[in-house]
Amino acid sequence: MKNSHFFENLATPLVMAILNVTPDSFFDGGLLCGKKDKISLDLVVKRVDLLVKSGANIIDVGGESTRPGAKSVGLQEELNRVIPVVETIVDRFEIPVSVDTSSPSVITESANAGALMINDVRALSRKGAIDAVASSDLAVCLMHMAGEPTNMQLNPSYNNVLDEVSDYLLARIKLCEAGGIDRKKIFIDPGFGFGKTLENNLELFRGLNKLSELGFPLVVGLSRKSMVGSILNKPADGRLFGSIALAMLAIQKGAKILRVHDVEATVDVLKIFNAIEEKGSI
């Protein structure tokens, strides 16, 4: 499997480029769709080529929107969207591919298509998901989400958001290890914006360094999210600078992978960070 050990060396933070093959994602939905909302592989190739040239380290393919209020997608539709895209990227590019999915069948088919990682907002909680990852050579990112995308923002409530997110992720890790997944292949994501108020998100961010100390590489997705919009009072297309500021703060707090829409700007941030930390040069 190409680059099968890629995620085992995280000496410096990496940039995970978001590639939504959906018509309804909150920022870039429909970007890669041609006629009748069908994914254009030609557009995919052009987009991935740009992301690679911009410095992306990983491409994260998503076939189902998980924005607040998003409707679920049928299994066959998700497979139709995701698998040809993964196959195309693996065939034409050297960059590792992650797949944003919760469905065991999509996990298995993504592995067969050459993906190296699963990025699951439901932390492998669907029946068969742990087995699907365990039977492959896939790495996995387990994310915290309170509820489902359809209802997660209706009334989120925590006594202590940092402790509850940490406890949830550790519990999921325990189940994954019991199910045969190598702990060296497990990543964690606190799930900013997934069943959390602005204050929850801010409190969670302030405690990122504690999550990074749990012993698993930390993935952070803050790019253009409503958290940034609420602070700045700006729509999604006006949140670049705020997203970049949070990216720099996140890596200072121990984030190892930044999941972003704006690759070139984030790569510039990492170059500055690495130069200051003497891990690289501008």
Gap between the Cα atoms of 241 and 248, Å rounded: 11
Q: Which of 47, 185, 225, 239 is catalytic?
A: 225
Contact in structure between 219 and 191 (CB atoms under 8 Å): no
Gap between the Cα atoms of 60 and 214, Å rounded: 24
Active site residue 259: yes
Contact in structure between 61 and 98 (CB atoms under 8 Å): yes
Q: Which of 81, 122, 172, 259 is catalytic?
A: 259
Closest CA to 173 of 137, 136, 209, 133: 133
Token pair, residue 264, equals: 């070139």
Gap between the Cα atoms of 206 and 220, Å rounded: 13
Token pair, residue 183, equals: 């702990």
| Catalytic annotation, residues | 225, 259
